[in-house]
Amino acid sequence: MHTGRILFAQLLDFIPRHEFNRCVRRYRGNHRIRTFSCWDQFLCMAFAQLTGRESLRDIETCLRVLHPKLYHAGIGSRVARSTMADANEMRDWRIYADFAQILIGTARTLYAHEEFGIHLDQTAYAFDSTTIDLCLALFPWARFRRHKGGVKLHTLIDLRGSIPCFVCVTHGKIHDVIALDHLILEPGSFYIMDRGYIDFARLHRFNEGLSFFVVRAKKNLDYQRRVCRPVDKTTGLRADQTILLCGPKTSQQYPIPLRRISYFDAETQKRFVFLTNNFELPAIAIARLYKCRWRVELFFKWIKQHLHIKAFYGTSENAVKTQVWIAIATYVLVAIVKKKMNLGLSLYEILQMLNITLFENVPILQAFSLINQQDQESNLCNQLELFNF
């Protein structure tokens, strides 16, 4: 039975408020704050992400129009542009980073048995980074080229559900491979990376952590072949070898055997060479695992297209990180809603529905079921009638 609550308030039921308050207390986010608490800030920024607001003035204008409904949405104070700007500048971004990690833990539990195209008992991750360009005149602290600024978003996603498990926002000058130092390796898990992450001293750390890596090899790799195993070339495989590195530095950084797999992709007419420290999985499974790495690229594309992280509401480093982490929390929240309500809709369809009905007085399950009903009716309208009486 519908209780008369707006959709935004029903969406907040999926958020553990006590965990959010714990994160706020950890960093004293509400210290000497009388109005516009960290919870109000989170709700306003989440509203901006869900509805695609372009600026703080845009957020302020929309929320003023919706002022009679703000109390029912959980926003307990008047929202002003200057107040939001000060909050983004001063409130510690780690509040929202820690809370996003709590939502990530919930989402990973929900998607623990999700299929991703390969039958694998272990957990598989894809690791990559993307650059978010910033205007150098507005973000002088983010200079990484002569006339260009930017930050890097280093992201590790769980292939089951494409849930971001580790996110690190760094300066644009930071090399991708340095982000490997911040990873907490899980024993038995697979980490799939592009060749930009080849650093054999860091890759050797995966052996010490009892975890596995799959990385694309560079063309100038100096190695010596020790064992050559037969392969079925009809599957695209060309070689499955055990090698030892011969370079003066690489042989010291990684002194133990490696597995080298060569694969030809008939669709792209390209040849790929992979390196891994796993000698048990079939070679074709290693090649298919690497193909799943593109899920992290799709994740970057999705959040850049459908969430607001390419333009920022503040110019300080704290404001940028706050907005990025709230965007990630919003993405994970939509994924949690999708799984808990067992919706057959895509994340894009859910986000678009929330965009236009966020402050409507309608049961959340009814709102999503209307989309399914409209999709079925549109499919029926496209079908020609065999007999027309």
User: Across residues 265-291, what is the average pLDDT?
Assistant: 93
**Span 254-266, average pLDDT:** 94
Taking residues 166-193, report their average pLDDT. 92
Identify the pLDDT of residue 32: 87
Asked if the model's pLDDT at residue 64 lies above 90, the reply is no
Question: Comparing 74-78, 168-172, 238-242, which segment has the lowest mean pLDDT?
Answer: 74-78
pLDDT of residue 2: 47
For residues 164-191, average pLDDT: 92
Position with higher pLDDT, 42 vs 134: 42
pTM exceeding 0.75:
yes
Winning range, highest mean pLDDT, from 1-15, 89-103, 138-152, 166-180: 89-103
Question: What rounded mean pLDDT belongs to the chain?
Answer: 88
Q: Which of 332, 362, 43, 8 is nearest to 163 (CA)?
A: 332
Amino acid symbol at 109: T
Q: How many residues does the chain have?
A: 389
**Better-predicted residue by pLDDT, 67 or 23:** 23
Tell me what the mean pLDDT of segment 367-376 comes to.
63
Q: Which of these, 50, 35, 115, lies nearest to 308 by C-alpha position?
A: 50
Closest CA to 211 of 123, 79, 318, 313: 123
Q: Where are the alpha helices (DSSP H) in 66-183?
A: 67-73, 81-90, 94-110
For 124-147, what is the mean pLDDT?
87
Contact criterion met (CB below 8 Å) for 337 and 11: yes
Given this model, what pLDDT does residue 369 score? Answer: 78
Could you tell me which residue, 74 or 43, shows the higher pLDDT?
43
Residue 374 pLDDT grade (very low, low, confident, very high; cuts 50, 70, 90): low
User: Does residue 388 have a pLDDT over 70?
Assistant: no
Euclidean distance between the first and final Cα of the chain, in Å?
Answer: 42
Give the residue, 365 or 323, on which the prediction is more confident.
323
Greater pLDDT, 277 or 307 = 277
Pairing of strands 124-134, 270-276: unpaired
Average pLDDT over residues 12-22: 94
Question: Quick one: average pLDDT of 228-242?
Answer: 93
Q: Say which amino acid occupies 134.
A: L
pLDDT given for residue 163 in this prediction? 93
- Asked if the model's pLDDT at residue 133 lies above 90, the reply is no
pLDDT digits (tens, 9 = 90+) for 316-347: 999 999 999 999 999 999 999 999 999 888 88
CATH superfamily entry for domain 118-299: Transposase Inhibitor Protein From Tn5; Chain A, domain 1 (3.90.350.10)
**Per-domain residue ranges for the chain?**
7-95+316-372, 118-299
* pLDDT for residue 21 is more than 80: yes
CA distances to 75, 320, 327 from 79, in Å: 9, 20, 20
Per-residue pLDDT at 3: 57
Mean pLDDT of the 78-95 span: 92
Residue with tokens 């370079």: 247
Is the model's pLDDT at 370 over the cut of 60? yes
Q: Is the pLDDT of residue 381 over 50?
A: no
pLDDT band at 386 (very low <50, low <70, confident <90, very high): very low
pLDDT at residue 376 tops 80: no
Q: Strand 258-265 to strand 163-171: parallel, antiparallel, or no bridges (unpaired)?
A: unpaired
